[in-house]
Amino acid sequence: MKQHVVWPGLYLAAVLLSSGALAQPVPPAQVVSFSASASMEVPQDFLSLTLNTTREAGEAAAVQKALQQAVEAALAQARPAAQPGAMDVRTGQFSIYPRYASQGRIAGWQGTAELVLEGTDWARITQTAARIQTLSVARVSQGLSRQARERHEAAVQAQAVARYRARAQELAELFGFRGYELREVSVSTSEPGVTPWPMMMRAKADVTAAEAAPVPVEAGKALVTVTVSGSVTLK
């Protein structure tokens, strides 16, 4: 005669499934979800100047050589003034592409090269750019340095958390409760981007020292925003 053995755990699971307890969890009661934000407008302290030049020739090798000479001459002017954080120097885009005639054949070659000066010492950057004679300023961008962004985010985050806690207490009292208990919370920060300023290109890539002058720039503003989102249980 066969005997059927039912394990207690399996029996309990069968009972729960038959009753629908596992399929339909009971949502928590007295839970409110909301968010609170804080913002601060701060001066931008990071400057980026992009300098470039364009060369044309009948052969791609000639264009490449002319661009290399222009960039090397610019680097010779910029490197002595470089200082980590205050002014960093790096090369940017370097591209060579053909120019086509109306019949679809290659009529010549053209290329572009860039040099980027960026950092927090605006005077150093603009004065260095003015001394470079083989490249012209093409773009100006402003933003926040990493140190400034982290410093301002910490202050704004404290404000956002304080507003979230005050709002939680306010909602609890409006619903007739004395207080609240945090269930889950998340903090997000909007990343302020850089502000690009296109510049008019000079008619010629090479200019005399008398024509060179520091690029006129003035710091703009960046908006740092922190948002606290989550839910609380009213007590």
pLDDT the model gives residue 3:
46
The torsion angle over the Cα atoms of residues 166, 172, 176 and 181, rounded to 10 degrees, is: -130
pLDDT at site 201: 39
What does pTM read for this prediction? 0.71
- Residue 28 lies inside a defined structural domain of this protein: no
| Strand ranges of the sheet holding 31-43, from the earlier edge strand across to the other edge | 31-43, 221-234, 180-190
User: What is the separation of C-alpha 96 from the centre of its chain, rounded to a whole number of angstroms?
Assistant: 29
Q: What is the predicted pLDDT for the residue at 15?
A: 45
Give the per-residue pLDDT at 140.
93
Residue 56: inside a domain: yes
User: Letter for the amino acid at 22?
Assistant: L
Decide if 188 is inside a domain: no
Does residue 120 lie within any of the structural domains? yes
Q: What is the pLDDT of residues 30-87, one digit of tens each?
A: 999 999 999 999 999 999 999 999 999 999 999 999 999 999 999 999 999 999 999 9
DSSP per-residue letters across 67-107: HHHHHHHHHHHHGGG-BTTTBEEEEEEEEEEEEE-TTSSEE
Asked, for residue 3, whether it belongs to a domain, the answer is no
Inside any domain, residue 187: no
Largest Cα–Cα separation, the chain: 111
CATH number, position 93: 3.30.70
Domain count for the chain: 1
Structure tokens at 83: 């200082």
Q: What's the CA gap between 36 and 165, in Å, rounded? A: 9
Cβ neighbors of 175 (< 8 A, separation 6 or more) are 30, 32, 234
**How confident is the model at residue 149, as a pLDDT?**
92
- What 3-state class would DSSP assign to 111? strand
Query: Could you tell me if residue 90 is inside a domain?
Result: yes
Domain membership flag for residue 183: no
Q: In this predicted structure, what is the pLDDT of residue 28?
A: 66
Range of the domain at 214: 46-143+194-220
> Which parts of the chain register pLDDT below 50?
1-17, 21, 26, 197-210
Nearest to 206 by CA among 48, 56, 54: 54
CA triple 143-146-149, angle to 5 deg: 70
What is the Cα–Cα distance from 228 to 35, expressed in whole angstroms?
5
